[in-house]
Copies of this chain bind each other. A is one copy, B any other.
Amino acid sequence: MNEIKQRVIQFFQKAGIVITDIEKDKIEVADFGLNDFENTGLTLLTYVNTQRCCAKEMVLFPNQTCPEHIHPPVCGQEGKEETFRCRWGRVYLFIEGEETSTRAVNPPRGEYTVFHQIELNPGDQYTLIPNTKHWFKAGDEGAVISEFSTKSRDESDIFTDKRIKR
C-alpha cells in the first residue's frame, strides 16, 4: 500500500502538483474489489467534498482503467456532474454515444458497454452530465487527472460489472 502511495506522489511531482504531508496520508487506493489493481484501479486525493461541490486529484498508472459506472440521483438530488481535466500523461474517456470504430485502447476483463472515445491530453477536459455511463483508461505513461464536481458520493456509484464494490 505504501509503495502505491509513493508511486502516486511521484506522479503528482511529474505533474507539478504539490501536496502536503497530511494529504500524503489521505491518498485513497481503490481496487474496486476485483483484486487486479494493475489493470482495474484508481488512486485519488480528495481536496474538498462539501454538500455542494468537490475537487479531487486522480492518478491512473500506465494502462490502468477506472471501470464503467454512472452517478445516479441521490436523495432527490440530481446525480453527480463532473469535469475531468488531464494534467499530465494521457487518458481515454469512454461515454455513451456512437462507438469509436478505431479506438486507441480496449477495456480490461469485465463488463463494458459504452465505447465513444474522448482522448484527453494535458490541458484537455470534458464535462460529464449526470447519469451518463463512463469509464476511463490511461495511456502507456499513466495520467494525472483533476476532477471538479458536485458532491461526491462514491458509495452510490452504480457499476456495470456487478462484482464491483467501492
Contact check, B18 vs A148: say whether CB atoms are below 8 A apart: no
Contact partners of A123 in chain B: CB under 8 A:
18-20, 23
Does chain B have a CB within 8 A of A16?
yes
Which of chain A's residues 122-136 have a Cβ closer than 8 Å to chain B? Answer: 122-125, 127
A54 to B87, CA, bound (A): 17
A78 to B51, CA, bound (A): 12
Contact check, A87 vs B127: say whether CB atoms are below 8 A apart: no
A53 to B54, CA, bound (A): 9
Contact partners of A146 in chain B: CB under 8 A:
55
Does chain B have a CB within 8 A of A162?
no
Does chain B have a CB within 8 A of A28?
no
Contact partners of A87 in chain B: CB under 8 A:
17-18
> Given A53-B53, A81-B53, A148-B148: A125 and B48 within 8 A (CB)?
yes
Select from chain B the residue with minimum beta-carbon distance to A77. B52
Does chain B have a CB within 8 A of A160?
no
Select from chain B the residue with minimum beta-carbon distance to A13. B16
Q: Mark A54-98, 1 if CB is under 8 A from B, else 0.
A: 110000000000000000000000100101010110000000000
Select from chain B the residue with minimum beta-carbon distance to A50. B81
Q: Specify which of A18, A53, A124 lies most central, judged by the most chain B CB atoms within 10 Å of its CB.
A: A53
Which residues does A use to contact B, with CB under 8 Å?
Answer: 15-20, 23, 47-48, 50, 52-55, 78, 81, 83, 85, 87-88, 122-125, 127, 146, 148-150
